[in-house]
């Protein structure tokens, strides 16, 4: 269970005990890098209180699910640790750290609904091709109208059919 989590530690032979837990491991890594909590806080944009709670494994003072996983992952990256090993440790220590599925509270006596039961509205992925065709038809009609009225110079008309239509 003892594995080097820092690149320098792998070369120097010092190891971190993975049984200590995520918080103790991150604290040991931070101290071995000679980084203060305030420096880590400024760099990671987490408060020193949050980092202390993480290092002391005060899970009640920390977010749960994906926010916690993101915080630990960013902290491990900052310390140049093995992120995958730290995330496995977090999963083992806190259980399933994934975000629970959201649901809608059932109406009294009614069925329970989940987000998959709700109708999905189709969101257009940008400019619809139907609008493109409509605009193109309007421009073509405006072009023919301009040629018919004689508003287009004869030098612009390359086809004989357009020239005869203008005359």
Query: What's the mean per-residue pLDDT of the chain?
Result: 76
Full-model pTM: 0.49
What's the pLDDT score for residue 85?
87
What's the pLDDT score for residue 20?
74
Average pLDDT value for residue range 23-33: 90
What's the pLDDT score for residue 138?
96
Least confident of 2-16, 99-113, 147-161: 2-16
Task: Read off the pLDDT of residues 104-155 as tens digits, 9 standing for 90 and up.
Answer: 555 566 566 555 555 555 555 566 778 888 999 999 999 889 888 888 887 7
Average pLDDT value for residue range 55-64: 87
d(CA 71, CA 61): 13
What's the pLDDT score for residue 144?
85
The three-state DSSP-derived secondary structure of 129-158 is: HHHHHHHHHHHHHHHHHHHHHCCCCHHHCC
């Amino acid at each position: 269970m003892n594995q080097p989590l820092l690149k320098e530690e792998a070369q120097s032979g010092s190891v971190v005990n993975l049984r200590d837990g995520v918080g103790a491991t991150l604290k040991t890594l931070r101290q071995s890098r000679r980084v203060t909590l305030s420096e880590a806080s400024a760099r990671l944009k987490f408060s020193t209180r949050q980092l202390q709670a993480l290092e002391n494994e005060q899970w009640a003072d920390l977010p749960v699910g994906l926010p916690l996983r993101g915080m630990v992952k960013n902290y491990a990256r900052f310390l140049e640790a093995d992120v995958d090993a730290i995330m496995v440790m977090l999963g083992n220590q806190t259980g399933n750290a994934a975000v629970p599925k959201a649901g809608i509270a059932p109406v009294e006596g009614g069925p329970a609904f989940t987000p998959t039961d709700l109708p999905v509205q189709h969101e257009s992925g940008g400019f619809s091709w139907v609008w493109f065709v409509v605009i193109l038809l309007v421009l073509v009609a405006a072009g023919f109208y301009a040629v018919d009225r004689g508003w287009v110079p004869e030098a612009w008309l390359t086809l004989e059919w357009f020239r005869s239509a203008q005359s």
